[in-house]
Structure 1
């Protein structure tokens, strides 16, 4: 229950427990610690969302007596499933991931319709009903501040309308870019639709009291668009996720194998084709490595990634696991000898600072990243001394770095000591976010 004098902040988020996946974590963790900074969160979310996965374990982080407002949302996914001959209970994956086969003509047509007719996204028909509902709610239950978090960016349009209508300060939080998102080209967006996306994006960026992003590179992108006030508040880790008293202590003992573990969705743009080839070469050339190696891939996997692995004959070394509960993912990270971080291979890959990185850091296991060597991830690894990164196509460096890690494993010296990671604790980051709230309200 909130303390007297707490300011109220209305948080608009599509992703909320029991929904699973990366989209839930950021505002679930802010909400968890917000009362300690004299803010009472009120959540607005969907009553009938289409989540790619469900994780009931995340409900433990929802504060007691939290007000959670829900309304029904109409999304076109039932039509999509019918149109693409998928079963009613089939989960819609993120980033156009296809686990079973290559994308067919009907899937491509459905994606074109999504990109060109459902602007900004498939939740567009939730905007007006949400504005009506929340306007009534706020008239009876005033709030001091509104936060919208995207994706989906329809949440920003809801907040824009309410903020303008009721004159309430508003923070637009971008977990991901909008028109510069990595899968924008995959949507096959035409020129007219592209202009509409850009116009809506500009309305949000110019009208929000502040825009928050997760990396310096994203900040630069938005500033180049003329956004007046952009703040960087990155993702992070929660100490409590790593100090569960009920957890078996053996779960923190590293694997006996030289285990390389990737946690998260593997879609085509995150498919490290060169890395699979390097690992295939190494197991052929080094009998000891072939005996010790184990590759754990935890999360949904696109057909194209599975095909790449099979083509390089790595099947005997790969353990493919689907989505797992969040706490189980943490356990698997802590047991692994080496944590694999794969950056999306796009022109704007340098701006990406995935939330998984900070959880990797907290484990104390070395991180091996594949991506731009001058991007946000590279800077974070260098700052915290938690790992190394090699470029997408740098065959020689990949091979050398893996062998360095393997030799350290053989000597039982494959460890890191994280440096200056405390600023990335979820509690400290909540303090940064509420400091921004205070600044906005003081200048209201």
Structure 2
């Protein structure tokens, strides 16, 4: 009140920030913009691991209350917007706007690729590999390839940068893949981008949990910025659409072990024939952070003027 704030902007998770924004909006009357990077119940494995029905109902009540109270809600994908409109049919469609995640092309432009294993066919995953996103079919496909293809067994290397949850590590041990998997702690962002640029294929595992189709992870945009082919294990939805639209790589449905195996084998054969070249950067300016920030600024201006 003393600072004469023109607008309130909350972004979540954590979802408690939206509850704070709602309370401030009611107290001050200042226009409020609520930004949902995830749905309130996007990841029940984390937020409601015991599947408590009372908690799920309470979360829905909180989510609906925020959507009804704010002037504008921003979501990360068109699929997420449609999920909310289906769930809450009384919401005006124009209240929910889409601003995706994105990237800054300068983050990678002048970075030199860093090859951790110069003589290996290197597949890299960056970020947290959650237990519920492990997709055992991927590791089973790798096990099948190293068992049946001596050259692949000699040449293959999987690099996992970041947090790999215990259940995923147990899956790796169960299949006796330790020799082919290199675990690397989180690295500074520029170094991580160098490793991505120096990899042959970038692995993106979305999984098949509820709401997986609306996931539009920041990882996808880091991968596109790195310019390397992407192997996405993802359901029909946003990741699938963008990878295919911009011809950034291959998409295989979760659970399709033979499809995953074929995709990895195809990339490996291309690598042997020196065919895995950097993907030409098409017009990705719609996902540049500068342009996305301008879109957010325009929405804030419109919200204040109403």
Instruction: Report the TM range for the smaller structure's normalisation.
Output: over 0.9
Instruction: Identify which of 232, 235, 250 aligns with 2:98.
Output: 232
Matched, 1:198 2:64: no
Alignment CA distance shift 1:236-1:182 (3 Å): farther
2-structure distance, mates of 1:164, 1:186: 28
Q: Give CA-to-partner distance per residue, 1:372-409, whole Å, 9 cap, x none.
A: 1x211100101111011101111221121111111111
How far does residue 206 in structure 1 lie from its aligned partner after superposition? Answer: 0.5
> What secondary structure is seen at the aligned counterpart in 2 of 1:237?
coil
2-structure distance, mates of 1:151, 1:216: 18
Instruction: Identify which of 20, 25, 30 aligns with 1:158.
Output: 20
Report the count of equivalent residues: 301
Stretches of structure 2 lacking an aligned partner (at least 5 in a row): none
How far does residue 419 in structure 1 lie from its aligned partner after superposition? Answer: 2.8
2-structure distance, mates of 1:252, 1:171: 43
Matched with 1:288 is 151
Is this contact kept in 2: 1:384–1:419, CA < 8 A?
Answer: yes
Alignment CA distance shift 1:412-1:253 (3 Å): farther
Alignment CA distance shift 1:208-1:255 (3 Å): farther
Instruction: Identify which of 164, 167, 183 aligns with 1:301.
Output: 164
> What secondary structure is seen at the aligned counterpart in 1 of 2:45?
coil
Matched with 1:95 is none
2-structure distance, mates of 1:253, 1:277: 24
Is this contact kept in 2: 1:386–1:419, CA < 8 A?
Answer: no
> What secondary structure is seen at the aligned counterpart in 1 of 2:251?
strand
Alignment CA distance shift 1:255-1:146 (3 Å): farther
Q: Which has the higher contact order (CA 8 A, sep 6+)?
A: 2
Per mean C-alpha deviation after superposition, the further-off stretch among 353-362 and 408-417 is: 408-417
1-structure distance, mates of 2:194, 2:147: 30
1-structure distance, mates of 2:209, 2:25: 34
2-structure distance, mates of 1:274, 1:171: 41
| TM-score in terms of structure 1 length | 0.65
How far does residue 181 in structure 1 lie from its aligned partner after superposition? Answer: 3.1
2-structure distance, mates of 1:233, 1:365: 24
> What secondary structure is seen at the aligned counterpart in 2 of 1:365?
coil
Matched, 1:220 2:82: yes
1-structure distance, mates of 2:281, 2:251: 16
Is this contact kept in 2: 1:212–1:230, CA < 8 A?
Answer: yes
2-structure distance, mates of 1:182, 1:192: 13
Q: CA RMSD in A?
A: 1.9
1-structure distance, mates of 2:44, 2:188: 26
Matched, 1:410 2:276: no
2-structure distance, mates of 1:251, 1:301: 22
Matched with 1:118 is none
2-structure distance, mates of 1:265, 1:184: 13
Matched with 1:422 is 285
Matched with 1:386 is 248
Stretches of structure 1 lacking an aligned partner (at least 5 in a row): 1-138
1:3-402 matched pairs, under 5 angstroms:
139-183=1-45, 186-224=48-86, 225-226=88-89, 227-228=91-92, 229-244=95-110, 247=111, 249=112, 251=114, 255-372=118-235, 374-402=236-264
Is this contact kept in 2: 1:259–1:336, CA < 8 A?
Answer: yes
> What secondary structure is seen at the aligned counterpart in 2 of 1:148?
strand
Q: Give CA-to-partner distance per residue, 1:193-227, whole Å, 9 cap, x none.
A: 33222211111011111111111111111112233
How far does residue 186 in structure 1 lie from its aligned partner after superposition? Answer: 4.5
